[in-house]
Structures are given as structure tokens and as C-alpha cells.
């Protein structure tokens, strides 16, 4: 069904929209949230996992000759994951829920045998934990990050906007909005092409701090080595399903107000990315926020 859009008039209106006790969310059983910038530079940032974004697909196509067995994006994703696994081993980093079965799954010969002809069953459930770990440390996968917290989503929407603003000599945000997407996972029994992926918090400290989970867009049609590499947008999946998807929109001129409120609620890079890297990211963002808000 069509995406339900609600545009806030100001920060107070938006804050009520994303409140767990608001008129929309209060009626949901198990709402989940994703925050992001929308419309920057004339670009709509849809609900597309990183591995399916146009720049990633273009890069994979440029390296097409390196895929001697299967010319499909799944192997581009797989080799990213395989390299990440190798470097984790080299660094002596422990992977939660590591097992002999998981290692067999990641073996290149076994992987090619299982997914070289028909890719519709990837990822295997025994790889969910590893994709989640990789995703939370910057490796592109087909998982799309969501959170159980609307305020975590609000922070990420404002953070993306401030990051965009700070680049190339302070970019203009006037033609952009920030968005918090909301859906109710209790409705997902109606839709077989979207799967909720939940993994234990021990997989990643970031995942725990962000109250994170993932959505996985599924394609019922087998993919072969001759298929074209195409994007999977969850916007399209939702629009053709019976599951409600809400898009709460806040004009970019209120980005500073949103970021400031998230800080006061205790949602910052320092709390959502536990460790020194998060503290450093938080300090940089705070300086950008002060500049944007006219406090410097």
C-alpha cells in the first residue's frame, strides 16, 4: 500500500509524531524505526541496503571480470565478508557464535556450490550474526539497520544531516529534510518478502547500544550467473504489500533542534558507539552542531 507521509510543522510536532505515546505509535504493537537524511542534492535516500546502492552496484560492475564463476552482486558481498572474517582472525578478534558450521558456510567452495546457481536463500540463518557484526562495522551487506527506539532513529537522521552540512565548505541543507521511517513488525505476517533479523546483543556493543535489528528484503525469484545486478528497495516492497510504512518528515531547518533534543535525552555518538571511537565521533559532531546552531 502507499507509504503514509506525515510532515511536521516544527520540532514539537515531530517529537509528538515519534513519541511512543503519540497518536500513531501508541496504536502499534511492535514499532521499529529508521532515521535518515532525505533529498540532499536532489537525491532521495530510499530504504536501500548499502550493498544495493547505486555506487556499490556500479563499483561491482566495474570489477565484473574478477567474478570468474558467478557475475552477481552476491559474490561481491561475499568477498567483503570473507575478507572481514580473515582480518578478524588475523587480529585475534573473537566472533560471537562462531562455529564449525559457520566456517564451512563461508568456505569459498561450499559457498559457490550452495549459491552459485540460485541465490534466493542467501543469507543462511547461520550467517546472520556475522552479517550483523560486519554491518555495524562498515562492511556493506544486504541488511538494513533499524532500531526499536524512535530517539535512536532521530539521532541518526540529525547526525546524517549535520555530516552532509559539514562537507565541502558547509553544504546547504535548505532543500533537504530528515525522515524517520516507522513500521510495525506485527504486520509482517502479511508480507513474505521482508524478513525481520534479530541477533543477540553479544554480537556487537554498537547493536546493543542502538537497540538495533535489521530488515532483509527477500527475492522469491532465483538469481543466476547471467542475471543483471539490480537494487532491492524496501520502499518498493512495502508499496506492493499490505504492511503500513510511515514516513515522518521534519524540515531541515529544525535539524539543530532535533540533534539538541537527542543529546538531552542521552542519545549521542558516545552512547550509541561505545568506546573511544564513539567518544571522538561525538566530540566532532558536537562542534558541527554548535556551528550549525550558531553557538560558535
Cα torsion 232, 236, 242, 247: sign: positive
Between 104 and 51, where is the model more confident? 104
Judged by phi (left if over 0) then psi (alpha if -120 to 50, else beta), residue 92 lies in left
Q: What are the contacts of 273-276 at 24+ separation with CB within 8 A?
A: 273/206, 273/209, 274/205, 274/206, 274/209, 275/205
Backbone angles phi, psi at 269, to 5 degrees: -60, -35
Q: Does residue 108 fall inside a structural domain?
A: no
pLDDT band at 68 (very low <50, low <70, confident <90, very high): very low
Q: Does residue 236 fall inside a structural domain?
A: yes
Task: Encode pLDDT of 225-277 as tens digits.
Answer: 556 556 667 887 777 778 889 999 999 899 999 999 999 999 999 999 999 99
Give CA–CA dist 141/51, Å, rounded.
5
Average pLDDT for the chain: 87
Beta carbons of 244 and 200 less than 8 angstroms apart: no
Beta strands in 76-193, from DSSP E residues, in sequence order:
143-147, 177-184
Judged by average pLDDT, the poorest of 18-27, 35-44, 56-65, 273-282 is 56-65
Whether pTM > 0.85 for this model: the answer is: yes
Return the closest-CA partner of residue 238 out of 50, 25, 2, 49: 2
Cα 263 to the center of its chain, rounded Å: 21
Give CA–CA dist 286/223, Å, rounded.
45
Q: Flag whether pLDDT at 67 surpasses 60.
A: no
Beta carbons of 31 and 25 less than 8 angstroms apart: yes
Q: Does residue 231 fall inside a structural domain?
A: yes
Return the closest-CA partner of residue 215 out of 22, 38, 1, 52: 52
Q: Does residue 181 fall inside a structural domain?
A: yes
Q: Does residue 268 fall inside a structural domain?
A: yes
pLDDT band at 57 (very low <50, low <70, confident <90, very high): confident
Residues 6+ apart with CB under 8 A from 238: 1, 3, 47, 183, 191, 194, 245
Q: How many domains does the chain have?
A: 1
Q: Does residue 187 fall inside a structural domain?
A: yes
Q: Flag whether pLDDT at 31 surpasses 80.
A: yes
pLDDT for 61 equals 67
Residues 6+ apart with CB under 8 A from 153: 18, 33, 34, 35, 146, 147, 180, 181
Between 281 and 3, where is the model more confident? 281
pLDDT band at 134 (very low <50, low <70, confident <90, very high): very high
| Domain with 191 in it | 4-58+143-292
Return the closest-CA partner of residue 91 out of 148, 26, 141, 137: 137
Judged by average pLDDT, the poorest of 39-48, 152-161, 169-178, 263-272 is 39-48
Task: Encode pLDDT of 164-218 as tens digits.
Answer: 888 877 788 878 899 999 999 998 877 778 889 999 999 999 999 999 999 998 7
Q: Flag whether pLDDT at 42 surpasses 70.
A: no
Question: In this structure, what DSSP letter does residue 228 have?
Answer: P
Q: Does residue 194 fall inside a structural domain?
A: yes
Judged by average pLDDT, the poorest of 83-92, 216-225, 256-265 is 216-225
Amino acid at each position: 500500500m502507499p507509504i503514509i507521509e506525515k510532515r511536521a510543522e516544527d520540532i514539537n510536532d515531530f517529537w509528538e509524531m515519534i513519541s511512543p505515546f503519540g497518536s500513531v505509535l501508541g496504536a502499534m504493537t511492535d514499532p521499529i524505526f529508521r532515521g535518515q537524511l532525505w533529498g540532499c542534492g536532489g537525491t532521495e535516500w530510499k530504504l536501500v541496503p548499502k550493498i544495493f546502492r547505486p555506487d556499490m552496484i556500479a563499483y561491482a560492475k566495474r570489477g565484473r571480470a574478477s567474478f570468474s564463476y558467478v557475475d552477481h552482486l552476491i559474490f561481491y558481498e561475499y568477498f567483503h565478508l570473507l575478507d572481514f572474517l580473515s582480518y578478524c582472525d588475523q587480529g585475534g578478534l573473537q566472533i560471537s557464535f562462531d562455529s564449525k558450521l559457520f566456517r564451512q558456510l563461508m568456505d569459498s567452495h561450499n559457498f559457490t556450490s550452495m549459491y552459485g546457481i540460485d541465490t534466493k536463500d542467501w543469507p543462511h540463518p547461520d550467517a546472520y550474526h556475522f552479517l550483523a557484526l560486519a554491518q555495524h562495522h562498515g562492511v556493506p551487506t544486504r541488511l538494513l539497520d533499524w532500531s526499536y527506539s524512535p530517539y535512536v532513529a532521530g539521532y541518526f537522521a540529525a547526525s546524517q544531516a549535520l555530516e552532509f552540512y559539514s562537507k565541502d565548505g558547509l553544504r546547504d541543507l535548505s532543500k533537504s529534510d530528515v525522515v524517520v521511517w516507522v513500521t510495525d513488525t506485527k504486520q509482517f505476517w502479511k508480507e513474505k518478502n521482508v524478513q525481520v533479523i534479530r541477533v543477540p546483543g553479544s554480537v556487537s556493543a554498537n547493536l546493543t547500544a542502538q537497540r538495533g535489528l535489521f530488515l532483509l528484503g527477500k527475492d522469491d525469484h532465483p538469481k543466476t550467473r547471467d542475471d543483471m545486478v539490480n537494487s532491492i528497495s524496501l520502499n518498493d516492497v512495502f508499496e506492493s504489500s499490505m504492511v503500513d510504512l510511515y514516513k515522518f518528515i521534519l524540515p531541515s531547518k529544525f535539524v539543530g533542534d532535533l540533534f539538541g533534543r537527542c543529546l538531552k535525552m542521552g542519545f549521542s555518538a558516545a552512547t550509541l558507539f561505545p568506546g573511544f571511537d564513539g567518544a571522538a565521533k561525538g566530540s566532532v559532531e558536537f562542534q558541527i552542531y554548535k556551528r550549525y546552531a550558531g553557538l560558535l
